[in-house]
Amino acid sequence: MGDNCANLPNDETMDFLDGSSEMELQNIIDVEEIQLIMDDFHHLTKMATAIIDLNGKVIEATGWQDICTKFHRINPLTSSNCTASDLFLAKNLKAGEIVDYKCQNGLWDVVTPLFVAGRHIGNIFTGQFFYDDEVIDESFFREQAQKFNFDEEAYMDAFRRVPRYSREKVQNLMNFLVKFAAYISRMSLMNLQLKKEIQIRHQVENALNENEIHLRTLLKTIPDLVWLKDPQGYFCFCNSRFESFLGYAEKDIIGKSDYDFLDSELADFFTKHDSEAAKSGKPCTIEREIIFADGHSEILEIISSPMFMKSGQISGILSIGHDITAHKLAEMKLRSSELKIRELNLGLEKKVQQRTAQLESSNKELESFAYIASHDLQEPLRKVQAFSDRLKTRYASVLDEKGLDYLTRMEASGKRMQKMVNDLLAFSRVKTRGESFESVNLNDIVDNAIADVEIHAIECGASFEIAALPVVEADPMQMQQLFMNLISNGIKFHRENVPPVIKIYSNASSINQDQDNFCEIVIEDNGIGFEIQYLDRIFKPFQRLHGRGKFEGTGIGLSICQRIIERHRGCISAISEIGIGSKFIFTLPILNVKRSEI
């Protein structure tokens, strides 16, 4: 790295500099010339640059990103962040040092100091970019847009256009800026020392010559292909990568044209691209696969920019070819992967549709079978019960004790079978015999359900704590059955010598399910509870966790509850603990269920 403190002044010059306002950065550098050089540097590298004095004043700026010029530097608060970031490392930097840091607005800046006569008077910055190996938190910028009241869409568009560079590229470019900082330092000191215009001209000429050397050195080391042609299409300069493309040294390339090295088709391509850039007066970009002299090929993004003299005439065409082969291959692989995923998704969607149709058909057949089977069982079951009753009435006196026991068992089994048939019918009718939905006050439903189980509740000493419940869109008869089944369970499965306490309430906040409003209802008891591992089992038809001798029932009540809830597009679950009690939690639609879909 160059020494920014080179060419220290003599004692006479130091006396002149002490206390002089001439030491302000803007007074000792040729701002216009620096601006032109930085503009060219931007055309070559696409990197933003700035020269800022120690008070935060911007002396030169080139290629700044819209996110800074249209947002961060406009808003007073984010602008103060910019100034704070600019001044963060403004002091105590060493000559030739390169420091990168992330500004308070979330972008990377890289800085190297400017020294004149051993004094630190400013800094050269490049920045307003992201490193290509970092993970960018897009939510930070979106929150920043909202916080500072930026146009969020425009701000996020500017954010997405912030460039990403490799650390190697930034380091290479900063090596040039270190040398450039040394050049500025020397040129500034020369401006202060020179007394006569002829001396100033000589010093500027020397500085420009030295700058040209630095620039050529930079261009030689850039990993991209770089070449310069005069207006007639003859090569004036090329770097090492371009030499490897043609397979000739620079000295053998200078003064010749594309047609001296390339086939006519490729030479015509480059000539046409140069002409378009010259005609438009601005950089032109095109992509092309080219074959190098050693036989390997690369896909290049070629940017050709016209160079102008002060008179406005074109002095040449500067071109840079960046290897994008890996990027293009990645794009091809991505498109191929997307196509495969799309095909897989279509196949999976078709299979899901087929499986759904099969399940729907199977469910309809199962429901039909359950209804028909349970309906057809009614007549023979009634006959069994009728003959059992006649047998008991007419022949009980001639039966011995064992016969009477058989008869009693037969009657009990008949009643249990009748209960199972009735429950099976109720289960099958949830979807096939349901009523249309209407507004239902759940507190009225709960009052009716409690009235239905009043005798059993009094016998067990049960008490109820009922909170205010919402009005829902539902089938009122099925709501009656749902709450009666769950309340009956809370009473039935109570602990010995512990009166059941049934709590019914709605959670305070409604939930959003499929963009419809749903409420959450909880029915809580202090009963015997169950092991949570059996949660899935309790909602299956005829599944029981306890023997019939201890608790009566067919084991289909919770299955009916689940089917009712599903018909209402809700869901039901439970949490429980042995010896503590259970909570049955389910959701019901408040207002927005589409009745045509029920």
What CATH number has the domain spanning 330-433? 1.10.287.130
**Residues 6 or more apart in contact with residue 591 via CB below 8 angstroms:** 473, 517
The torsion defined by the Cα of 416, 419, 425 and 429, in degrees rounded to 10, comes to -150
pLDDT the model gives residue 270: 93
Tell me 306's DSSP state. Answer: E
Do 130 and 136 contact (CB within 8 A), yes or no? Answer: yes
Whole-structure pTM value: 0.36
φ/ψ of 94, rounded to 5, equals -95, 150
Look at residues 227, 252, 45, 72 and name the one whose alpha carbon lies nearest to residue 144. Answer: 72
Its CATH class, for the domain covering 223-323, is alpha beta
What CATH number has the domain spanning 435-597? 3.30.565.10
Do 104 and 168 contact (CB within 8 A), yes or no? Answer: no
The DSSP result for 170-237, as a single string, is HHHHHHHHHHHHHHHHHHHHHHHH--SHHHHHHHHHHHHHHHHHHHHHHHHH-SSEEEEE-TTS-EEE
pLDDT the model gives residue 221: 78
pLDDT the model gives residue 173: 87
pLDDT the model gives residue 395: 72
pLDDT the model gives residue 123: 87
Query: How far apart are the C-alpha atoms of 173 and 109, rounded to whole Å?
Result: 13
Task: Output the CA angle 486-487-491, nearest 5 degrees.
Answer: 120
Q: What is the pLDDT along the chain (598 residues), one digit of tens a residue?
A: 344 444 444 444 444 445 444 567 777 777 888 888 888 888 888 888 888 888 878 888 898 889 988 999 889 988 888 777 767 666 667 878 888 888 888 999 888 888 877 788 888 888 889 999 999 999 999 999 999 999 999 999 999 999 999 999 989 888 888 888 888 777 776 766 664 566 677 777 787 778 777 777 777 778 899 999 999 999 998 998 999 999 999 999 999 999 999 999 999 999 999 999 999 999 999 999 999 999 999 999 999 999 998 888 899 999 999 999 999 899 889 988 888 888 888 888 888 888 777 766 655 655 565 555 555 666 676 667 677 777 777 777 777 787 777 777 777 666 666 665 665 566 555 555 556 788 899 999 899 888 888 888 888 898 999 999 999 988 888 888 889 889 988 888 888 888 999 999 998 544 454 445 888 999 999 988 888 877 777 777 666 655 454 556 566 778 888 888 888 888 988 898 888 989 999 998 886 444 434 4
